[in-house]
Amino acid sequence: MHLKLRHIEVFHAVMEEGSVTKAAERLNLSQPAISTALTKLEEMLGFALFYRSKGHFTPRPEAFLLNEDAELSLMAVEQFANRARLIGRGGVGLVRIGAIGAPAFALLPELISAFVTDHPLVEVDLQVRSSTQISYLVANGQLDIGLIEAPVAAASIAATEIVLPCVCIMREDSDLASKHAVTPQDLVGQRLIGIQNVNQVDRQLREVCSAAGVEVETTVRGFFFAVVRRMISAGDGVALVDALNGMQALNDGVVWRSFEPRIDYRIAMITKVGAELSKPAKDFSGRLLEALARFGQV
């Protein structure tokens, strides 16, 4: 049996309207077309649905039994059409994002909140992982978008690099807060809080301090820039962090100053080579790059 949607539409319209004439008007069809469609439907089903008398169609008990299923079928088709329209506009879907700590804590929560407000039917999955893990998941299609530390070496990954300046953060009552810019010489005698020895920012800081003939000592280390900022807020000390975390106005008693010479923190937005992003993921990636451009160079 090969039922067509039009047969079900005609049957349901006749049942709802109570006459062939009104059903024809509702569907913008002729009365003979309605009668032909009903006859064809009955032939396919193998039993009659209506009593016929001088052009009048009176539903049989079998018709009442099928009418609810007909309505549900038409509703399912309408739901399918509505969802297809939403998908076509990028209104539904799933965006899977992997990010290292710097953007995950400082940028993405606000960005995701604004995104889901505009796309209430789109699901967003954010995973905070290492650059290596994110690269692997993006390359294998398990994440749509990744934010990792640059440079990117994998051939299967397309990358857009973002250069973020680093700023020096301290408590607002620190003597360094009175300066327009902080230099390596200003760090002498300060309790310096770092990230980790292998971090690109710590490496650059050691290099500029060595070039300036300055010796500084990192006594406390954290794993995330956001954690380092919390340490400074809770006590004292100074740190060099990326602009995303350093320039946020969190009302936590922490202020930032530029650092000279400039130290950069390089990250990259990555996607899988050859994999086309869904419309929601494209929208989100565009918003992400726009947001990052406010802090650095894309």
248 within 8 A of 128, measured Cβ to Cβ:
no
- Identify whether 298 is part of a domain: no
285 and 155 fall within a common domain: yes
- What value does the mean pLDDT take over residues 127-151? 93
147 and 192 fall within a common domain: no
Look at residue 198 and tell me whether its pLDDT is greater than 60.
Answer: no
Question: pLDDT band at 196, cuts 50/70/90?
Answer: low
195 within 8 A of 222, measured Cβ to Cβ:
yes
Within 8 A by CB and 6+ apart from 126, the residues are: 97, 98, 99, 104, 108, 112
Look at residue 297 and tell me whether its pLDDT is greater than 80.
Answer: no
Distances (CA, A) of 4 to 28, 44, 216: 18, 10, 79
Which of the two residues, 196 and 126, has the higher pLDDT score?
A: 126
- Identify whether 63 is part of a domain: yes
Which structural domain, as residue segments, surrounds residue 81?
Answer: 5-88
134 and 73 fall within a common domain: no
182 and 251 fall within a common domain: yes
151 and 270 fall within a common domain: yes
99 and 69 fall within a common domain: no
| Least confident stretch, 14-18, 54-58, 67-71, 263-267 | 54-58
Look at residue 243 and tell me whether its pLDDT is greater than 70.
Answer: yes
The C-alpha atoms of residue 93 and residue 121 are separated, in whole angstroms, by 7
123 and 195 fall within a common domain: no
pLDDT, one tens digit per residue, over 62-96 is 999 999 889 888 888 887 877 677 667 666 688 99
157 and 286 fall within a common domain: yes
- pLDDT value for 172: 94
- pLDDT value for 261: 95
Number of domains observed in the structure of the chain:
3
The alpha helices in 155-211, defined as continuous H runs, are 200-211
Share of the chain above pLDDT 90, in %: 57
- pLDDT value for 288: 96
Burial of residue 282, with CB atoms counted within 10 A of its CB: 0-12 exposed, 13-18 middle, 19 or more buried: middle
110 and 45 fall within a common domain: no
Let me know the angle formed at the C-alpha of 122 by 121 and 127, rounded to the nearest 5 degrees.
Answer: 145
- Identify whether 67 is part of a domain: yes
69 and 211 fall within a common domain: no
